[in-house]
């Protein structure tokens, strides 16, 4: 009897330890990603017409905060702070935003094939851009703000329509995905109509805008993106456990006390906001939002308390790496990074699907 009791408590401690080390592995994964991002940023900034070493890059950046400690090469402060750093920070923020939005959208739709663009955001932004560039109409007055404002507002319209639909029809994943597809078709059709009557130069501008580029955002734009992320990220983390519970299906989630429909709509709005605010400054950068959460789950499992931050970091690393490739492959020509993410991401994704051992869907 006593023996059994001792046995049982030993087993308890074993299980608990195993669980703690499982958590530990996830924390390690996240820390490793942070280091990787810092390293990739260093490499990215060091490359260009004027080459620096990676250490010189770090020295130049730290010099701003701790002057007179470091050896800073000539011209480096101007090149790095005024030109290259904004691009890399855009990459990091956009990567985090797209991937976090992708992770939670996959969570609420219970569909690993969903991405921030599943709900029609890309088609909305495309229409907004087409209206601004070709027709010159929309929200905002100065030409730069017109494009950004238009893209932002229009990319949110599909989500708002889906939220409206959820009032009449219950917000199940199926209705939301189907509504997103419908919105994509409608918005694409209107965009196509505008394209059809556009002159070729304006049309090219629209196409290039859509391809996605990290070089457009100014420091001022980045503050806006950072602010939105700083506000939205904790909100999503707060909902992370509810997302876990919703992974077992609506019925189980309801029986565990979750207001499933309200949570779904709320998280969708947050994710749409994050995506829209990034898309309007960078254009469409595909694949990060789909692939980063997916690979993260393959690495650390499906617990959203860790999947959300880890996908964000993984997305950032992926986008910064893709940006390095986009600038170096045909240097000095810069390929739009959206093309690179899809070219590199597609095969990588296929490889992971073929290799994966666990069943996902």
Partner 1 sequence: MSTPILQGVHLELARSEVLSIVGPNGAGKSTLIRCINRILNPQKGSILLDGSDVIHMSRMELARQLGYIPQSDHQSFPATVFDVVLMGRRPYMGWNSGQRDKEKVLDVMQMLNIEHLAMRDINEISGGQRQKVLIARALAQEPDVLLLDEPTSNLDIKHQLEVMDAIRSLVAEKNISAIMAIHDLNLGSRYSDRMIMLDKGVIAAVGSPFTVLTQDNIKQVYQVEAAVKDEDGFPYVVPKSTIRNNVGGGCFR
Is residue 16 at the binding interface for partner 1, with CB under 8 A as the rule? yes
In whole angstroms, give the CA distance from residue 196 to residue 207.
13
Query: Which of 11, 64 has the CB closer to partner 1?
Result: 11
Answer yes or no whether residue 31 interacts with partner 1 by CB under 8 A.
Answer: no
Cis ω before 181 (30° cut-off from 0): no
Which of residues 128 and 302 has its CB atom nearest to partner 1 in the complex? Answer: 302
332 preceded by cis ω (within 30°)? yes
**Cβ at position 269, least distance to partner 1 in Å:** 19
The Cβ of residue 26 has, within 10 Å, a number of other Cβ atoms equal to 19
Helical H runs in 141-287? 143-168, 173-197, 200-211, 219-238, 240-246, 250-255, 260-282
Tell me the window of 48-56, 71-79, 209-217, 253-261 that interacts with partner 1 (CB under 8 A).
Answer: 253-261
24 burial type by CB count under 10 A (0-12 exposed, 13-18 middle, 19+ buried): exposed
Region binding partner 1 by CB under 8 A among candidate stretches 37-45, 142-150, 271-279, 294-302: 294-302
Smallest distance from partner 1 to CB 98, Å:
19
**In the numeric block, which tokens belong to residue 331?**
């240097």
Query: Judged by CB, which is closer to partner 1: 171, or 217?
Result: 171
222 or 258: whose CB is closer to partner 1?
A: 258
Q: Quote the crossing angle between the two packed helices 85-109 and 288-300, to the nearest 10°.
A: 70
Residue 359 in contact with partner 1, rule: CB under 8 A: yes
Q: Which one among 245, 267, 268, 317 touches partner 1, defined by CB under 8 A?
A: 245
Nearer to partner 1, 104 or 194 (CB): 104
Instruction: Pick between residue 187 and residue 314 the one whose CB is nearest to partner 1.
Output: 314
Judged by CB under 8 A, does residue 257 bind partner 1?
yes
DSSP string, 117-143: GGGSHHHHHHHHHHIIIII--SS-SSH
Q: Residues 40, 258, 292, 313: which binds partner 1 (CB under 8 A)?
A: 258
Q: Which is nearer to partner 1, 278 or 295 (CB)?
A: 295
Nearest-angstrom CA–CA distance, 304 and 215: 32
The half-sphere exposure of 295 on its side-chain side, counting CA atoms within 13 A, is 25
The number of residues making up the chain comes to: 361
Please say which residue, 176 or 214, places its beta carbon nearer to partner 1. 176
The residue assigned the tokens 């319209």 is: 157
Which residue among 2, 8, 137, 333 contacts partner 1 (CB under 8 A)?
Answer: 8
Please tell me whether residue 239 binds partner 1 under the rule CB under 8 A. yes
Binding to partner 1 by residue 170, rule CB under 8 A?
Answer: no
Structure tokens at 296: 């993260």
Site for partner 1 in 95-134 (CB under 8 A): 106-107, 110-112
Unique residue bearing structure tokens 């996240």: 30
Q: How many residues bind partner 1 (CB under 8 A)?
A: 41
Q: Which is nearer to partner 1, 111 or 188 (CB)?
A: 111
Binding flag, residue 247, partner 1 (CB under 8 A): yes
| Binding of partner 1 by 358 (CB under 8 A) | yes
Does residue number 249 form part of the binding site for partner 1 (CB under 8 A)? yes
25 makes contact with partner 1 (CB under 8 A): no
- Contact between 361 and partner 1 (CB under 8 A)? yes
Measured from the CB atom, the residue of 199 and 359 that comes closer to partner 1 is: 359
Alpha-carbon span 360 to 78, nearest angstrom? 48
Of 270, 277, 271, 273, whose CA–CA distance to 217 is shortest? 277
Q: Are 101 and 116 in contact (CB under 8 A)?
A: yes
Whether residue 158 contacts residue 184, with contact meaning beta carbons closer than 8 Å, is answered with yes
Residues interacting with partner 1, by CB under 8 A? Answer: 8, 11-12, 15-16, 18-19, 22, 106-107, 110-112, 237-242, 244-245, 247-249, 251-252, 254-259, 297, 301-303, 305, 358-361
């Amino acid at each position: 009897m006593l023996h059994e009791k001792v046995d049982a408590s030993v087993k308890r401690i074993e299980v608990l330890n195993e669980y703690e080390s499982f958590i530990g592995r996830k924390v390690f994964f996240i820390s490793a990603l942070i280091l990787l991002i810092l390293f990739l940023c260093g490499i990215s900034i060091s490359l260009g017409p004027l080459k620096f070493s990676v250490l010189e890059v770090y020295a130049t950046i730290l010099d701003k905060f701790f002057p007179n400690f470091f050896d800073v090469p000539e011209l480096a402060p101007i090149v790095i702070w005024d030109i290259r750093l904004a691009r890399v920070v855009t990459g990091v923020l956009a990567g985090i935003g797209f991937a976090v939005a992708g992770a939670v959208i996959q969570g609420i739709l219970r569909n690993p094939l969903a991405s921030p663009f599943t709900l029609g955001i890309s088609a909305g932004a495309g229409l907004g851009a087409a209206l601004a560039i070709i027709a010159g109409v929309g929200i905002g007055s100065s030409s730069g703000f017109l494009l950004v404002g238009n893209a932002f507002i229009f990319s949110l319209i599909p989500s708002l329509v889906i939220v409206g639909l959820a009032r009449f029809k219950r917000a199940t994943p199926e209705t939301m995905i189907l509504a997103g597809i419908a919105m994509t078709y409608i918005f694409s059709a209107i965009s196509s109509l505008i394209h059809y009557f556009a002159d070729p130069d304006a049309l090219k501008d629209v196409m290039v805008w859509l391809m996605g580029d990290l070089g457009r955002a100014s420091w001022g734009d980045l503050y806006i993106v950072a602010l939105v992320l700083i506000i939205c990220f904790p909100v999503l983390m707060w909902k992370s456990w509810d997302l876990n519970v919703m992974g077992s299906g609506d019925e189980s989630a309801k029986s565990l006390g979750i207001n499933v429909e309200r949570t779904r709509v709320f998280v969708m709005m947050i994710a749409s906001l994050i995506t829209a605010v990034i898309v309007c400054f960078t254009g469409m950068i595909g694949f990060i939002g789909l692939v980063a959460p997916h690979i993260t789950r393959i690495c650390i499992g499906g617990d959203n308390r860790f999947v959300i931050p880890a996908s964000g970091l993984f997305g950032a690393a992926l986008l910064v790496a893709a940006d390095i490739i986009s600038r170096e492959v045909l240097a000095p020509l810069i390929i739009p990074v959206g093309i690179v993410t899809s070219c590199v991401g597609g095969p990588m994704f296929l490889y992971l699907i073929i290799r994966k051992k666990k069943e996902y869907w």
